[in-house]
Amino acid sequence: MKKLLYNIHIFVILALTMAGIQSCSDELHDVGDAQVSFTATLPTDTRTRAFGKAEQVNTLVVGIFKKGDADVHTNSEGSWNYYEIDRYSFPINGTSVNVQLTLAQEQTYSFVFWAYNSNQNIYNIDDMTAIEMNSLPNPTTFAQAEAADAFFATMENMTIAGDCSYPVELVRPLAQINVGTIGTPMQAVFKAKAVPNTFNPFTKSVSGTTDYIWNFSETTTETFSVDDTEYNYLAMGYVFAPATATNISAELTLTDGNNSKTVEISQVEIEANQRSNIAGNITVTEKDISI
């Protein structure tokens, strides 16, 4: 009799244990996925200018991040603890792109959107929390310089509660530097000194320093305007820049036939999503530069 009761007791415990396991499994069961849509849009004026019109921006990469152990998932600055769990690429035709993602409900995600020319080896996006601009190859034509144009956006700590859609406005993390003269265009070499080479999207900060040299082997008939004065392009390019203005130094070497001259420019103001214009009556025999 004791043996029988013992077996019944064990059976009840096992049954209760199994019921507990089943109950726990129900609680942890996937609550389902949601369709999350983003409409990522380039600035509306990007297609209306000679340079800075984003014509070569052809790919949007979306990195999906979650928060993790701060001791494991940190960047070099220790600013955040996001780690990437997935990424997707979408072609860009025109000024916007529709992004469709399937994500788990009741989960919290953060996103990095990066739009760039994926055909060129200009940006290293292996780590989308610290995007690097390669120092090589340096542009020798205005088309190559324009290929460095890029845009970004972030969305942080979004908890997915069901199907939803969001607008995303992309902006440049770059300063566009224009160098021009009211005189005749000529061959130019522009050296931007101690410029940031890494952009951190979540903190919208820049880091690292390097020199970039734009050695143009051609001239262009394109112009830009400053205070209602038209200037002929001598050089143009993009560099990572902070959200608040800062100054860098630069060097401009002009060659006109057998004559050459180098101009030192002590202060060039750069700021993300802004143009920096270096313009004046710049020739190989005289300089009148306004920034």
pLDDT score of 57? 94
- Beta carbons of 222 and 288 less than 8 angstroms apart: no
pLDDT score of 16? 33
Residue spans of the chain under pLDDT 50: 1-29, 47-48, 70-79, 286-287, 289-291
pLDDT score of 86? 97
pLDDT score of 101? 97
> Three-state SS across the chain?
CHHHHHHHHHHHHHHHHHHHHHHHHHHHCCCCEEEEEEEEECCCCCCCCCCCCCCCCCEEEEEEEEECCCCCCCCCCCCCCEEEEEEEEEECCCCEEEEEEEEECCCEEEEEEEEECCCCCCEECCCCCCEEECCCCCCCCHHHHHCCCCEEEEEEEEECCCCEEEEEECECCEEEEEEEECCCCCEEEEEEEEECCEEECCCCEEECCEEEEEECCCCCCCEEEECCEEEEEEEEEEEECCCCCEEEEEEEEEEECCEEEEEEEEEEEECCCEEEEEEECCCCCCCCEEC
pLDDT score of 18? 36
Q: CA nearest 127: which of 239, 41, 202, 36?
A: 202
**Per-residue pLDDT tens for 103-141?**
999 999 999 999 999 999 999 999 999 999 997 668 889
Q: CA nearest 181: which of 269, 287, 274?
A: 287
Query: pTM of the predicted model, to two decimals?
Result: 0.83
pLDDT score of 283? 72
